[in-house]
Amino acid sequence: MSHYRIRINFPEDKITEPIIYQLGREFNVVTNVRRADVREKTGWVELELEGDSAEIEKAVESLRAKGVKVEPIERNIIE
DSSP assignments along 42-77, one per residue = -EEEEEEEEE-HHHHHHHHHHHHHTT-EEEEEEES-
- What pTM value is reported for the model? 0.86
Report the alpha-carbon angle 47-53-56, nearest 5: 40
Distance of alpha carbon 27 from alpha carbon 3, whole angstroms: 14
| Segment 22-45, tens digit of pLDDT | 999 999 999 999 999 999 999 999
Instruction: State the pLDDT at residue 74.
Output: 67
